[in-house]
Structure 1
Amino acid sequence: MKVLKFGGSSVASAKNFAKVVEIITKATEKDVCLVVLSAVQGTTDALIEVGRDAEKGNEEFREKIKLIEDRHFEIVRNLIPISQQSAILSFLKKRLNELESLCEGVFMLRELTARTLDRIVSFGEILSSNILAAKLNSLQIENIWKDTRELVQTDSKFGFAAVNFEATNLQIKDFFNSSNSKLFIVPGFIAADASGATTTLGRGGSDYTAAILAAAVSAKVLEIWTDVSGMMTADPRLVQTSRNIQHISYQEAMELSHFGAKVIYPPTIQPVMNKRIPVWIKNTFAPEDFGTLIEAETTLEKEAIRGISSIGKISVLSLEGSGMVGIPGFSKRLFDSLSRGHINVVLITQSSSEHSICVAVEEKYSSLAKEIVDSEFVYEISVGKIEPLKIENDLSILAVVGENMKNHPGVSGKMFGTLGHNGINIHAIAQGSSERNISAIISSKDVKKAINALHEEFFSGGEKQVNIFLVGIGTVGSKLIEQIRQQREYLRQNLRLNLRVVGVANSRQM
Structure 2
Amino acid sequence: MQVYKFGGASVKDAQSVRNVFSILEKTEKKDILIVISAMGKTTNALEEVVESYFKDKNSSEQSLQKVKDFHYTIIDELFKDKNHPVYWKIDGLFGEITSFIDRNKSPQHSFVYDQIVGFGELLSTTIISHYLNDKGIRNIWLDGRNLVRTNSNYREAEIDWEETKRNICDSIKPSLMYITQGFIGSDSNYFTTTLGREGSDYSAAIFAYCLQAESVTIWKDVAGVLNADPRYFKQTRLLEKIPYQEAIELAFYGASVIHPKTLQPLQKMEIPLNVRSFLNPEAKGSSVCKINELTPKIACYIRKQNQHLLSLSSLDFSFIGEENIGFIFNLLATYQIKVSLLQNSAISFNICIEDKFKNLHFLLEKLREKFKVECIENVILYTIRHSSNEDSFEFLDDQKEILLEQFALNTLQKIVRE
Normalising by the residue count of structure 2, what TM-score does the alignment of the two structures yield? 0.90
Is 1:71 the counterpart of 2:58? The answer is: no
Residue 142 (structure 2) aligns with: 146
- 1:257-282 Cα offsets, whole Å, 9 max, x none, are 23332222111111111111111111
Is 1:59 the counterpart of 2:58? The answer is: yes
Paired residues, number: 414
Matches of 1:324 and 1:14 in 2, distance apart?
Answer: 63
Matches of 1:357 and 1:180 in 2, distance apart?
Answer: 53
- Indicate how the Cα distance of structure 1 residues 422 and 288 shifts in structure 2: closer, same or farther if over 3 A, else same: same
Equivalent runs, 1:23-422 vs 2, <5 Å: 23-29=23-29, 32-82=31-81, 86-106=84-104, 111=107, 113-176=109-172, 179-301=173-295, 303-305=297-299, 307-320=300-313, 323-325=317-319, 328-351=322-345, 354-362=346-354, 367-377=361-371, 388-402=372-386, 411-412=387-388, 414-415=389-390
Shift of 1:129: 0.4
Contact 1:228 1:283 in 2 (8 A): yes
* Runs of 4+ deviating beyond 6 Å: none
- Indicate how the Cα distance of structure 1 residues 238 and 16 shifts in structure 2: closer, same or farther if over 3 A, else same: same
Normalising by the residue count of structure 1, what TM-score does the alignment of the two structures yield? 0.75
- Indicate how the Cα distance of structure 1 residues 261 and 400 shifts in structure 2: closer, same or farther if over 3 A, else same: same
- 1:82-125 Cα offsets, whole Å, 9 max, x none, are 27x5201111111111211222235xx69464323212112111
- Indicate how the Cα distance of structure 1 residues 34 and 301 shifts in structure 2: closer, same or farther if over 3 A, else same: closer
Matches of 2:413 and 2:369 in 1, distance apart?
Answer: 30
The structure carrying a bigger helix percent of its residues is 1
Matches of 2:287 and 2:261 in 1, distance apart?
Answer: 17
Quick check: 257-266 or 41-50, which moved more?
Answer: 257-266
Query: What SS is found at the alignment partner of 1:345?
Result: strand
Equivalent runs, 1:436-447 vs 2, <5 Å: 436-441=410-415, 443-445=416-418
Q: CA RMSD in A?
A: 2.6
- 1:441-472 Cα offsets, whole Å, 9 max, x none, are 2x232xxxxxxxxxxxxxxxxxxxxxxxxxxx
Residue 474 (structure 1) aligns with: none
Gaps of 5+ in 2: none
- 1:394-421 Cα offsets, whole Å, 9 max, x none, are 532111124xxxxxxxx43x12685599
Contact 1:419 1:425 in 2 (8 A): no
Shift of 1:10: 0.8
Letter in 1 for 2:167: Q
- Indicate how the Cα distance of structure 1 residues 421 and 89 shifts in structure 2: closer, same or farther if over 3 A, else same: closer
Higher relative contact order (CA 8 A, sep 6+): 2
- Indicate how the Cα distance of structure 1 residues 371 and 113 shifts in structure 2: closer, same or farther if over 3 A, else same: closer
Shift of 1:300: 5.0
Gaps of 5+ in 1: 378-387, 403-410, 446-510
Query: What SS is found at the alignment partner of 2:336?
Result: coil
Matches of 2:78 and 2:196 in 1, distance apart?
Answer: 30
Shift of 1:348: 0.9
Shift of 1:436: 4.5
Contact 1:27 1:33 in 2 (8 A): no
- The structure having more radius of gyration, on CA atoms, is 1
Matches of 2:182 and 2:134 in 1, distance apart?
Answer: 22
Contact 2:217 2:274 in 1 (8 A): yes
Contact 2:335 2:359 in 1 (8 A): no
Identity of aligned residues (%): 30
